[in-house]
Amino acid sequence: MFDHTSSKQMDESVQGRPFRSSVNAHSSRKYYIESYGCAMNFNDSEIVASILHEQGYGAVTEPDQADLLLVNTCSIREKAEQTIRHRLMHFKGFKKKNPRLLVGILGCMAERLKESLLEQEKLVDLVIGPDAYRTLPALIAEADGGQKAINVLLSREETYADINPIRLDQNGVSSFVSIMRGCNNMCSFCVVPFTRGRERSRDAYSIVAEARDLFEQGYREVTLLGQNVDSYRWQNPETEEVVSFAGLLEKVALIHPDLRIRYSTSHPKDITDDVLKTMAKYDNICKYIHLPIQSGSTRILQLMNRTYTKEWYLHKIDRIREILPGCAISTDIITGFCSETEEDHQQTLEVIEYVKYELAYTYEYSERSGTLAARRYPDDIPAEVKNKRLNEIIALHRSHSEQKNKDEIGKIHRVLVEGPSKKNSEEWCGRTDTNKMVIFPKGHAQKCQFVNVRITDATSGTLRGEIIGN
């Protein structure tokens, strides 16, 4: 899913939150961050914000007010990179008005393109990879001296566990907590192992402490983040205690019954019965699993190096429904992967028909240089065929989503109030345990409160309801 945010969301979120700000040469300088791509990038921007505040930088609400412009980037698809390039070209024009302005690129696109952004395209002054954020102050000093500053070294140890992120979100209701970094799954279409490095898990007790701190600040929902959360494994060097993902889920769930827990993303090959049983045990762990299938064809899955078959995946779906009746399942699907036939496409439709996902993120295959697929397989599916197949997938999924939402009419859900509806300030919006968005009249409910809502109407994307018993 592609999205972006910026540091103009900072002002409200840091009020009342203590942080140490050293007074130094940078104390009068201002920064602005935009984040694109996955939730991991958004969380990384919060780490960067903390590092900059420690150096005395202040956030501004608009990019033309900044002395330091940072773009945290996504490289997963070509369209994402094009959007970011256009943004950097726009920022380049600000230098005429502010000669001391520095423009930097962070994250996956920085890691992948490296010197090209500095030397060939001359769009940025700094290039900082996902494992190099601690060196940002030194890189800024280099850039101030007229040098092109770059650090894209990957690490086998860095987890930023000791850095307390400054929350760039402004809702004060839900937030992200990173539990691990990197990925060991060498999916042939994916750049993540090359841009974020090898998998490493964060200290379990630092994760629990961060989640508890969020709860004490008033947050009522945390999402545990990792490229593959189910492979989380941390060993305490002092006691030799080993914490699995199931064990970590339990530790966070025990913080308080009113702290709701989500997580993303799962890899089908790694999600275990222990995780499912832990979810069943605790009411505050949301009954919602994002389980990417990518393709319904075993042949294509093998080319993708996904390490499971269509049949194995469907067995895992059955197991989820056996242990967690009513659990919502979402997915990612890539259409038009190298050599995909109409028969392969039909098998993907068969999986969608069988599972009936609550939500599906669907994409046409976009070849990324440096990946195994780019080296081994020709991108040989015509654009019009990719688009036709994508539209068929979307239409089938949308019919399921609409029916599933209509099935919710008359049911009662516990909903966390997130804030006013975008279309009507007299209504609240919030999500169910199964991650469905609900719109309902405010009544006497307050933001960040759990309320019971009876569903009265539904579309393919949204539920409408009314508060009962509050």
Enumerate the β-bridge partners of residue 329: 289
Question: pTM for this one?
Answer: 0.87
The per-residue DSSP string of 12-33 comes to HHHTT-------STTTT-EEEE
Instruction: Let me know if domain 174-406 sits in CATH 3.80.30.20.
Output: yes
pLDDT band at residue 342 under the 50/70/90 scheme: very high
Write down the residue that tokens 């968005």 correspond to: 437
Taking the CA atoms of the chain, what radius of gyration do you get in angstroms? 23
d(CA 28, CA 367): 43
pLDDT 10s digits, 353-386:
999 999 999 999 999 888 999 999 999 999 999 9
The per-residue DSSP string of 47-73 comes to HHHHHHHHTT-EE-SSGGG-SEEEEEE
How confident is the model at residue 12, as a pLDDT? 28
How confident is the model at residue 470, as a pLDDT? 60
Instruction: Let me know if domain 4-151 sits in CATH 3.40.50.1370.
Output: no
Write down the residue that tokens 């960067």 correspond to: 48
Element of type H or E holding 223: strand 221-225
Domain ranges of the chain: 4-151, 174-406, 412-467
Q: What is the DSSP letter of 105?
A: E
CB-CB contact of 50 with 163 (8 Å): yes
Could you tell me how many residues make up the chain? 470
Q: Among the residues of 55-203, which ranges form H helices?
A: 78-92, 107-113, 115, 136-144, 192-196
CB-CB contact of 347 with 375 (8 Å): no
- At 445, is the secondary structure helix, strand, or coil? coil
- Give the C-alpha distances (Å, rounded to integers) separating 297 from 130, 133, 186, 373, 457: 33, 40, 18, 16, 36
Extract the tokens encoding 230: 């189910």
Extract the tokens encoding 123: 């769009």
Interacting residues of 72 by C-beta distance below 8 A, sequence separation 6+: 33, 34, 35, 36, 37, 41, 42, 44, 45, 48, 106, 107
Segment 210-237 shows an average pLDDT of 95
Question: Burial of 444 by CB count in 10 Å (0-12 exposed, 13-18 middle, 19+ buried)?
Answer: exposed
pLDDT 10s digits, 121-132:
678 899 999 999
pLDDT 10s digits, 391-425:
999 999 999 999 999 999 999 999 999 999 999 99
CB-CB contact of 348 with 337 (8 Å): no
d(CA 391, CA 171): 34
Domain boundaries 412-467, CATH class: mainly beta
Element of type H or E holding 431: strand 427-431
How confident is the model at residue 89, as a pLDDT? 85
Residue 429 reports pLDDT greater than 60: yes
Q: Which residues of 128-152 are buried (b: 16+ CB within 10 A; e: fewer)?
A: bbbbbbbbbbebbebbeeeebbbbb
CB-CB contact of 231 with 199 (8 Å): yes
Extract the tokens encoding 151: 């650090």
- Higher pLDDT, residue 253 or 108: 253
pLDDT 10s digits, 288-308:
999 999 999 999 999 999 999
Q: Could you give the count of Cα atoms lying within 13 Å of 56 in the half-sphere of its Cβ?
A: 8
Q: For strands 412-420 and 427-431, give the pairing.
A: antiparallel
Residue 311 reports pLDDT greater than 80: yes
- Give the C-alpha distances (Å, rounded to integers) separating 9 from 32, 61, 249, 438: 10, 7, 29, 24
